[in-house]
Amino acid sequence: MNKSSAGRPPQSMARRFLFGLALLLLPLAVGVLSIGFGRLSIPVGEIVDIFASALSGAPQQNAQLSAVVLTMRLPRVLLALLVGGGLSAAGAAFQSLFANPLATPDTLGVAAGASFGAALGLLLGFDLIGVQIAALLMGFAAVLLTYSVSWGSERRSLTTVVLAGMVVSSLFSALISLVKFVADSDSQLPAITYWLMGSLDSANFHALLLGAPPILLGLIALFGLRWRLNILPLSDDEARSTGTNLPLLRGLVAFAATLITASAVSMCGQVGWVGLLIPHICRMAFGGNNKVLIPASISLGAVFMVLIDTAARSLSASEIPISILTALIGAPFFIGLLRKTGGWRL
């Protein structure tokens, strides 16, 4: 037997398995290594021993070191993995949904809406969980407003939805400016400004319990729909000829990407470039087939976000906002990538 049951050569199946295994193990390996980096350097062996003791219930030999690993750095790395993988997958999905290389997770206005919700929560003195809930609710309110605005046209097209998203994003950006204008300049304004620049320094397991499930649910949905995402750039007639319920598919993809983006922004503020840069890198490296593109975007996005966060908390005594690093690193790299590869492939 030189053919598998699916009609593919065993060598091809083995290659696919190894590729999938590499995509799974790479973020985990980078995450474990990043825990050891920082102003307090921790060897990998110590990290493994701490994890082993925690899983077995054995007492920790170094309580201070285990507290740094388990309560400070582990939640932060988990959040970086979730946010990076989620935003990358959402960006790749939106680029396929709108057949637009400039589509990002904020195409429907969700990031601007979630940012306004968080800024409003900080202005009203909410705790961390309250700010997170306010950001989630406003993120979904922004998307609902986008669709309600575009619904008025006789033939609602994807271009109309994108234009409505731009208008809603501008509206919520203005509301954010209004919140910053009325905020107390000594206490509230610095907190709002710093949060809007993006940071993972407030990561903890309580925030993850609220924010991780929406991201995981959205990722599972996009991963399960990756076979169908290749249909989205086709014309409506071509897509319907495949027997696909196009409005339902578009709605599911938009909802899953919105779920991811709203939750990510609610936990760590605005994080730029991840949802644009990583899908482009994966598209240029692996092609435009979403069966490969979505898993690759999840894996490389998670790795990228962990590396960025590690640099943010390690390069200086005061933590550097994530959006600054993603722009400083992402923009020149993206320009070089475009010059080398010649552009975008769908």
For 80-105, what is each residue's pLDDT tens digit?
Answer: 999 999 999 999 999 988 888 778 88
Average pLDDT, the chain: 86
What would the CATH number be for the domain defined by 14-341?
A: 1.10.3470.10
Task: Please answer whether residues 95 and 231 qualify as being in contact, where contact means their C-beta atoms are separated by less than 8 angstroms.
Answer: no
User: Low-confidence residues of the chain, pLDDT below 70?
Assistant: 1-11, 152-156, 337, 341-346
